[in-house]
Amino acid sequence: MSTAPVVMPSPATEIDLIERHRIGDPSAFEEIYSQHEKMVFNLALRMTRSPEDAAELTQEVFLRVYRHLERFRGSSTLKTWVFRIALNCCRSRFRRRRLTFREPSPGDDDALERIADPRADPERDALNSGLGERLDAALRRVPLAFREAVVLRDVHGFSYDEIGEILRIRIGTVRSRIARGRERLRCMLESEQ
Amino acid sequence: MTVHVSLEQLSSYLDLELAEPERLGLEHHLHDCASCRGRLDGLRSVVARLERLEQQAPPSELAFLVERRVAAEADRLGLQGRLERTIKTLFIQPSMTPIFGLVVALALILYLFSFGVARQQIRGTRLVVPVSPAAPVARMIAGREFIRTDGVWVERGLEPTAPVTVLELGVEIPVELLPFAGLGERVRLIQDGQVVEVVFPRAAD
């Protein structure tokens, strides 16, 4: 399965992809995978903070996507649908393993660093690494409900409406969770300075 | 007392999610309120840092692992799908319904037939219960041990011995033989140094 550069498809292309999958074209799923793999992996990584868990979760997510793709009716975008599956997988895992408020272990950040993006700019990485680590550490102390909303909004760039669809909550709740998540982060980061 | 802007309003303002009148009111308040400006700057900084977070590349083997699991799933779904399609065809297509009905009826007949045969077999089978060789039945009479062998009570030690005298008793039984009358009809014993088989009269006689 190739991992080509990500180009998000338009809704029309998405319907075409689903149709190709329905008639048994294996390349359709490969395209869906390559379009969403990195985002799903990073979402799982932000939620679990463990590269191993994130990789495992990504497999589960795409297995579910494959299993239920024929039922996708296009009422939301494919990306929204995939992210909803991804967050459901994360929550299931949290319930099973009680990772929700897991304290960071010393090996976590080292393990994360080992997964280097070959396309990333090393200088920019060096500049960002300190800030990123502190932010990641703060993020993992934010309660799950707020963290989900903040990550979807500020890391993955979803609109409030899309977040409402993914999390199946009202817009008012989306606003509230994003605000409270950001506020928690602001307090934690300012207290460190 | 100064009324500050709510956290949700500040956060939504950053996302351009406020309606025009609300946005204008908020900007007016921010112009005069250093506290809310400071809070907004803090939130803006958080958002900017989150947006700059590096996206990590997934492990190189991940695509392969997903492909393998999906292939296994495809096999499973393929088999299941074929089965479902076959069943659907049988149920839905009118032309196939009589054939399907025939198959079901045949299966039912076969089942009932096999059930009947099984019952018949159970009824006709002679129940054979393995038994261990019976232990010899023995009784002690007047300090002498008798063993039941081939319908005859034989005094211990006389089993292989054929009786020398067969004594058929009438109604009157000698007093010395009375205790042995309780054993049954025939008793082989030593009487006066001889092996005697005594035939006692039946109770009805």
Say which residue, A55 or B84, is predicted with more confidence.
A55
Q: Domain end: A39, A65, A99, which one?
A: A99
> Is residue A76 one of the residues assigned to a domain?
yes
Interval B41-94: pLDDT, tens: 999 999 999 998 888 899 989 999 998 888 888 888 777 766 776 666 666 666
| Alpha helical stretches, state H, B53-202 | 62-92, 97-124, 178-181
Q: What pLDDT score was predicted for residue A102? A: 45
Per-residue pLDDT averaged across A97-105, rounded? Answer: 48
Q: What pLDDT score was predicted for residue B101? A: 80
Say which residue, A22 or A106, is predicted with more confidence.
A22
Phi-psi region of B49 (alpha: psi -120 to 50; beta: other; left: phi over 0): alpha
The DSSP call for residue B129 is: -
Q: φ and ψ at B62, to 5 degrees?
A: -60, -45
Interval B127-174: pLDDT, tens: 554 545 555 688 888 888 888 888 888 888 887 777 677 777 776 777
**Same domain, yes or no: A128 and A178:** yes
For A131, the domain range is 121-193
Reported as type and span, the H/E element at residue A27 is: helix A26-48
What distance in Å separates residue B63's CA from the closest CA in chain A? 6
> Is residue B46 less than 8 Å (CB to CB) from chain A?
yes
What distance in Å separates residue A38's CA from the closest CA in chain B? 6
Reported as type and span, the H/E element at residue B191 is: strand B186-191
Q: φ and ψ at A115, to 5 degrees?
A: -85, 90
Total domains in the fold of chain A:
2
Partners of B67 on chain A (C-beta within 8 Å) are: 1
| Res. A94 pLDDT band, cuts 50 70 90 | confident
Q: φ and ψ at A105, to 5 degrees?
A: -100, 155
Partners of B22 on chain A (C-beta within 8 Å) are: none
Contact A180 B7 (CB under 8 A): yes
Longest dimension (CA), chain B: 143
Q: Domain end: A32, A66, A99, which one?
A: A99
> Is residue A191 one of the residues assigned to a domain?
yes
Residue of B11, B35, B61 best to disrupt the A interface, most CBs of A under 10 A: B11
Per-residue pLDDT averaged across B109-125, rounded? Answer: 72
- For residue A55, pLDDT beyond 80: yes
Per-residue pLDDT averaged across A68-90, rounded? Answer: 89
- For A105, counting Cβ atoms within 10 Å of its Cβ (0-12 exposed, 13-18 middle, 19+ buried), the class is exposed
Q: What pLDDT score was predicted for residue A113? A: 34
Nearest to A85 by CA among B59, B29, A76: A76
ipTM for the predicted complex: 0.74
pLDDT, chain B, mean: 80
Interval A33-52: pLDDT, tens: 999 999 999 999 988 888 89
Residue spans of the domains in chain B: they are 7-52, 60-92, 97-124, 138-199
Tokens 């054929």, residue?
B162
> Is residue A158 one of the residues assigned to a domain?
yes
Interval A130-177: pLDDT, tens: 667 788 888 888 998 999 999 999 999 999 999 999 999 999 999 999
- For residue B97, pLDDT beyond 80: no
Contact B62 A183 (CB under 8 A): no
Nearest to B186 by CA among B149, B159, B142, B138: B149
Contact A29 B50 (CB under 8 A): no
Tokens 């760039």, residue?
A157
Answer whether B177's CB lies under 8 Å from B169's CB.
Answer: yes
Restricting to B residues 63-122, those with a Cβ less than 8 Å away from any Cβ of A are: 63-67, 69-70, 73-74, 77
- For residue B197, pLDDT beyond 80: yes
N-term to C-term CA, chain A: 45
**Same domain, yes or no: A17 and A57:** yes
Reported as type and span, the H/E element at residue A111 is: helix A106-114
Residue A191: which CATH number?
1.10.10.10
**Same domain, yes or no: A20 and A94:** yes
Residue A84: which CATH number?
1.10.1740.10
Nearest to B189 by CA among B146, B142, B139: B146
Contact B8 A176 (CB under 8 A): yes
Distance separating alpha carbons of residues A148 and A166, to the nearest angstrom: 10
Least confident range from B11-15, B27-31, B147-151: namely B147-151
- For residue A71, pLDDT beyond 90: no
Whether the full predicted model's pTM is greater than 0.95, yes or no, is: no
Answer whether A147's CB lies under 8 Å from A185's CB.
Answer: no
Distance separating alpha carbons of residues B102 and B96, to the nearest angstrom: 10
